[in-house]
Structure 1
Amino acid sequence: KQSLPIIICTISTSLILSWILHKVMNIKGNTATLIGVGSSICGGSAIAATAPVIDADDDEVAQAISVIFFFNVLAALLFPSLGKLIGFDITTGEAFGIFAGTAVNDTSSVTAAASTWDSMWNLGSQTLDKAVTVKLTRTLAIIPITLVLAYLRAKEAKKDGSTTNGFSFRRAFPMFIVFFVLASIITTLCLGMGVPSDIFKPLKELSKFFIIMAMAAIGLNSNVIKLIKSGGKPILLGGCCWGGITVVSLVMQHVMGIW
């Protein structure tokens, strides 16, 4: 509840910026949509959920993911120093955790930035716990956004007389959200029944391994030279969305008295 106003404002900022710049800079609609959704919600996961809904091709998906992860890396490297520079409380992970959870695109990079802050100030896992909770709350926005995009796509197809892109709830719904909710329920019930939390440590380590493997796989499919040569406008779009989200997150936290 504490982070929800910030999440709503950052998501709105990214989507509005991507729509405006799509018109002004004449960027392909699918590319702008993928970058806007990826920046505002949860990077690669949001792109993966949105791509089939809007019928994005492989090149559009690869370009959007490359742009998002470029700024993910910058965030993971720069945000801990930025947090120190602007005066976040170093005795607790609350302020930086909310900042990382609302301003960093992808869950893996949120984890990296939050863990760095914990290590810098010997906070254990305070920042990481806060950041991941905020980030996964933000991830739930995939559901309404993909459903709205699917509806708009179906409406457009109907207007054009096409019958191949009809609305499908099953196709639009990101099923990994269901597994996330189920895992959360199982964990909560087990802890409530007195099962020691240490039993989940192997699964946590396994999840970190899979995140590393996923980032490596995306890196192996990303051509940096090609991205720079052909992706000038998408990179600028991604940078504007990323910058907008960062500024709005900081302003909202300041207004709400979090830092």
Structure 2
Amino acid sequence: MKNVGRIAFVAGVLASAFSASPPLALALGLALALAFGNPFPALTSRCSKWLLQISVVGLGFGMSLTEVVRAGRSGFLYTVIGITFAVVCGLVLGRALGVQRTPSLLISVGTAICGGSAIAAVGPVVDADEHDMAVSLGTIFVLNATALFIFPMVGHRFGLSQSQFGIWSALAIHDTSSVVAAAARYGSLALAIATTVKLTRALWILPVTFAVAALNKHKTNFQVPWFILVFLLASVARSYSPQTLVPTYTLVSGAAKIGLAVTLFFIGGGLSRNAIAQVGVRPLVQGIVLWVVVAAGSMWLVRSGLL
């Protein structure tokens, strides 16, 4: 049985790379994880992190600097207001539902900024134990997987343009991987805008982590997410390099989309029965309600033309 699981897992990686379809890759990873378990949990956990970062950098070679600046500027104001609102609202919800303070804070920060990355950064600052991290990450992961399938359908239902969907998905979906995957299903312009706005938002991990550390009187050594800076450099290279290099950049961007699909397969493969069981009802309810509030508010702002 163990060998069957390993063979199926390797076949899933190849199928994900060949299809280059993030939704299909995620669904395949989920199915195999629930059917056979993940035969390489430690390896896929490490690989998904690095492969996501490399893929995001690769996507930068497919975007002009003008697109990056325009998208980053349009989402800045809401990012400041939205992060504050999401964290405060999440803590109030968590308290009302009786969720313990640490996982409540982590779920709130994960929803406000960029999902698992924000949780991983803030967790050590609030001395989160293994169970707190599992509950928070599990909640965010379940919602991320759901968003990948639901958001494009909702966007089409409400007639969002690619530009509108790019901003909305970047503000309302937790992790960068799911934002990029959902936007890729919607269109190339949506992908460009969503990636840029999300990475701009992800930079707020730094001040938020230090703010939480200050409130908890906790010293922390924070590492700047280098891949965001390299993404910007890739966009600069794409904008100012000779036209003869454009085919090469297009090839790199295409390879990045394949890498993203494999990343989503690895992430789907990490959702085991144990991970689902550890989440619990109350944290999941907190995460869902907060997510719906943030998504609905973002949708209203986008459709009203305020963003």
Instruction: Give unpaired runs (5+ residues) of structure 2.
Output: 1-72
Instruction: Give unpaired runs (5+ residues) of structure 1.
Output: 119-124, 155-165
Q: Structure 1's 221 and 183: CA in aligned 2 closer, same or farther, altered over 3 A?
A: farther
Q: Structure 1's 81 and 186: CA in aligned 2 closer, same or farther, altered over 3 A?
A: closer
Where 1:88 maps in the other structure, the secondary structure is coil
Instruction: Look up the match of 2:226.
Output: 178
Cα-Cα RMSD: 2.3
Identity of paired residues, percent? 27
Deviations 1:113-166 (A, max 9, x none): 112222xxxxxx111111111111111111110010111111xxxxxxxxxxx4
Instruction: Look up the match of 2:211.
Output: 148
Instruction: Look up the match of 1:138.
Output: 201
Aligned residue type for 1:25: L
Instruction: Look up the match of 1:108.
Output: 177
Q: Structure 1's 57 and 98: CA in aligned 2 closer, same or farther, altered over 3 A?
A: same
Instruction: Look up the match of 2:40.
Output: none
Aligned residue type for 1:105: H
Instruction: Look up the match of 1:50.
Output: 122
Matches within 5 A, 1:1-259: 1-89=73-161, 93-118=162-187, 125-154=188-217, 166-168=218-220, 171=221, 173-175=222-224, 177-185=225-233, 187-189=235-237, 191-194=239-242, 195-196=245-246, 197-198=249-250, 200-201=252-253, 204-205=256-257, 207-208=259-260, 211-212=263-264, 214-216=266-268, 218-220=270-272, 222-227=274-279, 231-256=280-305
Deviations 1:54-90 (A, max 9, x none): 111111111111111111122111111211222213x
Q: Structure 1's 206 and 132: CA in aligned 2 closer, same or farther, altered over 3 A?
A: same
Deviations 1:7-38 (A, max 9, x none): 23332222011111233223211101110011
Q: Name the CA distance, whole Å, in 2 between partners of 1:134 and 1:183.
A: 12
TM-score by length of 1: 0.80
Check whether the contact 1:97–1:130 (CA below 8 A) recurs between aligned residues.
yes
Aligned residue type for 1:211: T
TM-score by length of 2: 0.68
Check whether the contact 1:34–1:50 (CA below 8 A) recurs between aligned residues.
yes
Q: Structure 1's 226 and 257: CA in aligned 2 closer, same or farther, altered over 3 A?
A: closer
